[in-house]
Chain A
Amino acid sequence: MRLELDAVSKRYGSATALDSVSLSVDDGEFFTLVGPSGCGKTTTLRCIAGFESPTEGTVRFDGESMAGVAPESRGVGVVFQNYALFPHLSVGENVAYGLRFTDPPGGGSRDERVAELLDLVDLAGFEDRDPDSLSGGQQQRVALARALAPGPDLLLLDEPMSALDARLRDRLRRQVKRIQSELGVTTVYVTHDQSEALAVSDRVAVLNRGRVEQVGQPRELYHRPRTRFVAEFLGENNVLDAVVESRPETGGIRVGVGDAVFTLAEGRRVLGRAGAVSDERAENDAKDGDRPARPAPGDELTFCVRPEQLRVGAGTNRIRGTVVDTEFQGATTRVRLDWGGTELVVAVEDGGEEAAAEFEVGTTLEVGFAPASAHIVE
């Protein structure tokens, strides 16, 4: 099923929870809404499910407006963070609840459908158990089975992993993703965890203060954030404010940050390009063309460099900073540099125990980045 949100706004009194949100989710797509708490992602989900009605704008399922359609008539499966299992019903009865109102898809009996779903979430034989007797991860899988039992056209997942511990979350996330692609059900997933969003989604919408900041595939958002917010929200980033100094004949832009001068590549250098260019991306690029793409000397601009793009003793644009903090993270070490009052994060590949001395707090470190690894944001 194709889901569209057309300029959906939701206001509570004078407070605006959603400000003209437009999105479209393709049939079978795993689409994620991500953003800090209070950004409107859950409100968006509730408008799709029909628990809230938009103050303005339209929600469409396969082109059909959902205005005035009750939640029970929308054919949407919902999984909540706290599972919301019916405590007075057994696991089997929970999963079977939606089948009270519709025939089991696939023509089998209700019991068969319940067994099939419990098998799908690796809980075969749990029919007679009490929801209270299950662990958090098991309860969440029951909630998923319950939502999927009536064969919904759309699956909504509202922070379904937040209450679980990290290891379990990773495993369950992969299971959800596998089930989703097996069934091919269109899925909208809400999370505040950016790494989760990048890991599972076909496409991601970053929301901030009730507005859509950017929509795109995970790699695209990571490497080509459109706004400062997206650049800082998804993964770690070094975001620097600069003033354009000149535009040399040889190409690129020379910018000044404090006393330092860097050369940035012009245009969009896409790193790790993946997948075909979707219509939407083409659209985005078309929009990009509208803004002043050729900054003139004296203009201010903001660019970002990922920690892993800052290389020790390499790169055309050099920065000398003092190590203020290091964090060993296994494959890499996060080194924080003080660079004339600006803090920079460098991800250094771990070079073994001997190499650690190089990054001791207080030592001076020279790092650099290639013009093409910097990305200019709005």
Chain B
Amino acid sequence: MSSASVRRAARALEQRLLTLVAALTAVVLLVLFYYPVATVFADAVLADGRVTIEPIAAVLTSEFYLVDIIWFTAKQAFYSTLASLALGLPAAWLFSRFEFRGRETLRSLTILPFVMPSIMVAIGFVATFGRNGTLNRALSAVGLPPVELLFTLEAIIVAHAFYNAPLVARVVTAAWESVDARTVETARSLGANPRRAFRDVVLPQLLPSIGVGATLTFIFTFASFPIVLALGGFQLATIEVFVYSRVRDLAYAEAASLAVVETAVSITLTAVYLRYEASQRSAGGAANPLPRQSVLPDDWTPKSTLRTVGIAGYTLVVGLVFVVPIASMVLASVTGGDGGFTLANYAFLAERQATGASFQVKPLPAILNSLAFAAGTLVVAVPMGVTMAVLTTRRYRGRGLIDVLSMAPFAVSGIVVGLGLLRGLVFGVDVLGTRIRVTGALAIVAAHAVGAYPFVTRNVAPLFARLDGRLVESARSLGATRTRALVDIELPLVWTGVVAGAAFAVAISIGEFDSTIILAEGAGSYTMPVAVERFLGRRLGPATAMGCLLLLVTSASFLVVDRFGGRWGEL
């Protein structure tokens, strides 16, 4: 072959490179996500190879399912959303309208719960509100009788608020900071008093973001699993928890039917959310934001005193909800049975062998598994996420569909993905007469990657979108091929997003619980969160030590995200 024809072939290949990579990503997504989820749906509507609506109809006509499970799920999600708004909106007000030391730090800390494993949050709450938790110790120290707060709806709601109030605060702060002070000044000059100006000018600009925060919170808490499992048990079961219990009992059709109902609700909500978000994209910080004031007033009028007392009270609540659970967990991990300081719980984590204390869960392999799965997730999720970011920022026909399909994993719960992978790939599929099976470990990496890549996409896509197309055109007119321009110009300018996305992927993988607990075959592929859950009911010590380890990994991820990830107003 002549060199010219080689070059021509290389060019032809290059022109199709994006298409090839996109096709590959589509195949991966199909195998790892759409096929497994379809299996679950098939389980729900197929019996002996015939289509039937019986299992779903059974769910939808059973009073137990409708009232005890589905209604309860919606109810706790609704209350959790209210609690998250109540806890998050004052924070948004403080972040956007006040100046105080540590404001920027606190503000970036609001991303932390997002990368925290929910099972870890659950341990924190058990360590705080459990029978021997911080609260009861404090109560008994002052001679009061102990209270039992675990396994109540309130505990679930507070834990959900821990998770979602920072999200609400984040989204609303971004909107509040982008309110142009001149719009308020105009209203004032036209005769509106401050309260009226807030109602007529500021509030309408905040409402979309409050809507976004509330909708996301509802979606997340509707599908919440580890928190409800750990803090509610099977007595207070959401759909997710009940699906899990059905899977444990090998009642797959029933599990599938419930999962279908849940997924339908989640997808509807997510679709509504995506539409909403698309129409309400706020544009970063305003050139002329509203002025900030000091938390401590200059002169103590009754009004300013009341405000300061309110802020102090709120700070106390924030301390109770956010700081105490984490502190309790750390404290419990170094407290022995006699109440003294000990590192025995950490020493136990390093033990290779299952001992009586661990109830057959080996801690060290769980830690190693978690790291291995995280590495696997990185390898799959980062290229997938970057490809999706490129695809969702290019213009072509049918892009809207690609956007929705690629973001669907956001809307489908880990339990459903896990169940699908279990029933589909782990149990085996017949392809052209060959039975294809994957191990639980591979399936876990698949589930983690599916859960993690949207975060890579969401970190990278805005950077791609912000890139001026003329940069690439300049490079090309100077002689760079399309791929060369990608490597020389685009990737260096989006790599911070890739790093942040990778950190997210690691955090998601390390903390993933929902699908892992379904896919973990025996103790061999347990991860840290699964081990924590196993320890949790039996012995708090090892659970809290493992929880602290999770906290460490999560915090490291957070630092990377915070350093490289930009402001992340949208998420």
Q: How far is the CA of A51 from the CA of B492 in the complex (A)?
A: 22
A87-B493, A88-B492, A88-B493 given; A98·B479 CB < 8 A? yes
- Tell me whether B479 and A102 are in contact (CB under 8 A): yes
B473 contacts A by Cβ under 8 Å: yes
Q: How far is the CA of A143 from the CA of B493 in the complex (A)?
A: 19
For B495, give the chain A residue with the smallest CB separation: A88
Q: How far is the CA of A98 from the CA of B492 in the complex (A)?
A: 17
Q: Mark A135-154, 1 if CB is under 8 A from B, else 0.
A: 00000000100110110000
A264 contacts B by Cβ under 8 Å: no
- The residues of B that contact A257 with a CB separation of less than 8 Å are none
A49 contacts B by Cβ under 8 Å: yes
How many whole Å from A86's CB to the nearest CB in chain B?
Answer: 6
Q: How far is the CA of A219 from the CA of B481 in the complex (A)?
A: 42
B394 contacts A by Cβ under 8 Å: no
- Tell me whether A70 and B478 are in contact (CB under 8 A): no
B475 contacts A by Cβ under 8 Å: yes
- Tell me whether B478 and A84 are in contact (CB under 8 A): no
B474 contacts A by Cβ under 8 Å: yes
Q: Mark B468-484, 1 if CB is under 8 A from A, else 0.
A: 10110111111111101
Q: How far is the CA of A101 from the CA of B475 in the complex (A)?
A: 10
A303 contacts B by Cβ under 8 Å: no
For B477, give the chain A residue with the smallest CB separation: A78
Q: How far is the CA of A76 from the CA of B473 in the complex (A)?
A: 11
Q: How far is the CA of A293 from the CA of B473 in the complex (A)?
A: 47
- Tell me whether A71 and B11 are in contact (CB under 8 A): no
B489 contacts A by Cβ under 8 Å: yes
- The residues of A that contact B492 with a CB separation of less than 8 Å are 88
A51-B473, A71-B473, A82-B468 given; A146·B478 CB < 8 A? yes
For A75, give the chain B residue with the smallest CB separation: B479
How many whole Å from B464's CB to the nearest CB in chain A?
Answer: 15
- The residues of A that contact B11 with a CB separation of less than 8 Å are 70
Q: How far is the CA of A51 from the CA of B481 in the complex (A)?
A: 12
- The residues of B that contact A74 with a CB separation of less than 8 Å are 477
Q: How many residues of B contact A (CB 8 A)?
A: 19
Q: Name the contact of B476 in the complex, choosing from A72, A86, A100 (C-beta under 8 A).
A: A72
Q: How far is the CA of A310 from the CA of B474 in the complex (A)?
A: 48
For B485, give the chain A residue with the smallest CB separation: A72
- Tell me whether B477 and A147 are in contact (CB under 8 A): yes
A77 contacts B by Cβ under 8 Å: yes
For A80, give the chain B residue with the smallest CB separation: B470
A233 contacts B by Cβ under 8 Å: no
Count chain A CB atoms within 10 A of each CB in B473, B478, B492 and give the residue with the most: B478
A61 contacts B by Cβ under 8 Å: no
Q: Mark A38-82, 1 if CB is under 8 A from B, else 0.
A: 000000000001110000000000000000001110101110101
How many whole Å from B10's CB to the nearest CB in chain A?
Answer: 12
Q: How far is the CA of A149 from the CA of B473 in the complex (A)?
A: 16
Q: How many residues of A contact B (CB 8 A)?
A: 27
Q: How far is the CA of A87 from the CA of B477 in the complex (A)?
A: 17
- Tell me whether B470 and A82 are in contact (CB under 8 A): yes
- The residues of B that contact A72 with a CB separation of less than 8 Å are 476-481, 484
For A158, give the chain B residue with the smallest CB separation: B470
Q: Name the contact of B468 in the complex, choosing from A51, A84, A150 (C-beta under 8 A).
A: A84
How many whole Å from B261's CB to the nearest CB in chain A?
Answer: 42
- The residues of A that contact B474 with a CB separation of less than 8 Å are 78, 80, 84, 86, 143, 146-147
Q: How far is the CA of A72 from the CA of B478 in the complex (A)?
A: 6
How many whole Å from B208's CB to the nearest CB in chain A?
Answer: 30
How many whole Å from B444's CB to the nearest CB in chain A?
Answer: 37
A229 contacts B by Cβ under 8 Å: no
> Which B residues, 246 to 284, have Cβ-Cβ distances below 8 Å to chain A?
none
- Tell me whether A71 and B477 are in contact (CB under 8 A): yes
Q: How far is the CA of A237 from the CA of B481 in the complex (A)?
A: 48
Q: Mark A166-199, 1 if CB is under 8 A from B, else 0.
A: 0000000000000000000000000000000000
A126 contacts B by Cβ under 8 Å: no
Q: How far is the CA of A49 from the CA of B474 in the complex (A)?
A: 10
- The residues of A that contact B475 with a CB separation of less than 8 Å are 86, 97
A70-B11, A72-B481 given; A84·B476 CB < 8 A? no
How many whole Å from B13's CB to the nearest CB in chain A?
Answer: 14
- Tell me whether B479 and A84 are in contact (CB under 8 A): no
- The residues of B that contact A71 with a CB separation of less than 8 Å are 473, 476-477
How many whole Å from A104's CB to the nearest CB in chain B?
Answer: 12
- Tell me whether B479 and A150 are in contact (CB under 8 A): yes
- Tell me whether B478 and A101 are in contact (CB under 8 A): yes
How many whole Å from A77's CB to the nearest CB in chain B?
Answer: 6
- The residues of B that contact A98 with a CB separation of less than 8 Å are 478-479
- The residues of B that contact A70 with a CB separation of less than 8 Å are 11, 476, 481-482
How many whole Å from B489's CB to the nearest CB in chain A?
Answer: 6
- Tell me whether B477 and A49 are in contact (CB under 8 A): yes
How many whole Å from B97's CB to the nearest CB in chain A?
Answer: 31
Q: How far is the CA of A337 from the CA of B468 in the complex (A)?
A: 48
Q: How far is the CA of A308 from the CA of B475 in the complex (A)?
A: 47
- Report which B residues bind A (CB closer than 8 A): 11, 468, 470-471, 473-482, 484, 488-489, 492-493
Known: A71-B477, A77-B478, A86-B488. 20 other contacts (CB 8 A): A49-B477, A51-B473, A70-B481, A72-B477, A72-B484, A78-B473, A80-B473, A80-B474, A84-B470, A86-B471, A86-B474, A86-B475, A98-B479, A100-B479, A100-B488, A102-B479, A143-B474, A147-B474, A147-B478, A150-B479
User: Which 4 pairs of residues, A with B, have the shortest CB-CB distance?
Assistant: A101-B479, A98-B478, A84-B470, A71-B476
Q: List 22 A-B contacts (CB under 8 A).
A: A49-B473, A49-B477, A51-B473, A71-B473, A71-B476, A72-B476, A78-B473, A78-B477, A80-B474, A82-B468, A82-B470, A84-B468, A86-B471, A86-B474, A86-B489, A97-B480, A97-B488, A98-B479, A100-B488, A147-B478, A150-B478, A156-B477
